Structure 1
Amino acid sequence: MTRRSAEQAKKFHPAIDREAMFDDHGAAIRGVERTGAVTKASPADVATSGRHAGRPLCHTTGINGTFQYNGFCWDEGDDLTGSYEPKGGWHPQALTASHDAQPGGTVDGHHLYAGSWCNGMGGGKRNLLGRIFLVNSTGKQWSYRHVLLVMPTGDEPSGDFSPVDNVHADGTVWYGNKLFVAHGGELQVYDFQHLWKMRASDERTGIENGVSSARWHQRALPISSRVPPTAAAKCLALGANVAKGSQLIQYTCGKQDQNGEQLPR
């Protein structure tokens, strides 16, 4: 990389419209919070609340024993659930952590893990619901809780929410306060500044008579934005028609890179 191209790279910033991409459902989220039916919680509060206790590794990892690896198992109920079971269940998907979210590696002084699950049942019924987990880890002890992903509805004077459905949740990245969840044809954005504690734990999802519930989950996280692959944002890629590594191409996401602006690498 030449000095000039290095300077160009430092000045390059993807064209991100923070309001359009990260606050699409802001009015509805604020509307739910103004009802008083939910209270805010933090990821550390949720993870350390002790709803579930993890166990030391309980399955063969296939990893060479000379490597110093660590991990944990879910509690027995979560270990045995499955989205392919005739009665229905959950399937763990993606993993991210506080060392992705913050330069210091912790959030509120805790080593936290986060990731996603999708819900389904036998007979081809897949991707019915989505949820995330938040784990507090000391390296020897693990506590965690599940959080249902929900769709805020309404507006600021009158907010409500329903489950996020038809979601595979096959990728997650925790960055700052945001949790990015990949779902096939779109990127879903959630904001941990709006992590909700429910007043009840019933089968229903939403607010009735001032009482909130999230389908047996005591916590819920509302989606703040959805970014489709054709959004007017900028993506980066190596040039397709040139020698590998010779140039970096900026292009509108969802379009072929030949239509984008080419920047020397």
Structure 2
Amino acid sequence: MVRVKTPISKQQRQEQILAEVRANAAVRIADLADRFGTSTETIRRDLDLLGRQGLLNRTHGGGTPPLAFEADIRDRHRLMSRERWRIAQAAAALVEPGEAIMIDAGSTTLHLAIALADLNRPMVAVTNGLAIADALGKCAQIRVIVCPGELNAPQSGLVGPETWQFLKRLNANRAFIGASGLTTEGPTEAESSMAWVKRAMIERARTTSLLIDHGKFNVDMLEVVCPLSALHDVFTDQPPDTALVEALSGAATGLTVVA
């Protein structure tokens, strides 16, 4: 976060806090206090008020977006771009020439699509993400198959019964998915329509990798996409806390933390 240098009103501060919450999976009191140059108690009161108004979910150390809220993919793509690029590069290295893969619409998976195009390897890629299809299409060696469906414009993704039915006809070596959050129960998602696409990809792929940055650890959203045991591995940029590490280990889900 960039620290605010000029004094702002209480209303302006709360509006900027909401912008941070909507752009990120979670915000912490200490970080916000440092950004706005105020006390942690002031930030705590701000978060309590915004929570009572239903504008965020109040957590012990900060706040998270409402359960059914997901920021626009264009906003999310700009966040933690370095961390997500490292995650994407590590995941892309898994793909062997000639494999068939599935990639769901998302910000971190968009980084993956760019990394895969850079590798210039022959493969078949199935996606419901328009931005992802465009990124993959820049590599002549990648055959890109775009799912049909109804456009979810903020997520640049195609969703709905047609998308789900189309995916059910296909097979893949690997699926790569993102998520709004990751808890000991499994990856979580703000939008049901997006969650159903992920489930279809998981079902039709031999292995599934979750790509997620550390800001989404222990973030609850509206739906649990699948149990941790449905994931072959998780790629992230920082080690999760002990409870999450133990849950992943207990589910026999691999964990790769990129440097």
Which TM-score tier does this pair reach, normalised by the shorter chain? under 0.3
- Greater relative contact order, per chain length (Cα 8 Å cut-off, separation 6+): 1
The normalised TM-score by structure 1 is 0.25
Higher alpha-carbon Rg: 1
Which structure dedicates a bigger proportion of its chain to strand?
A: 1
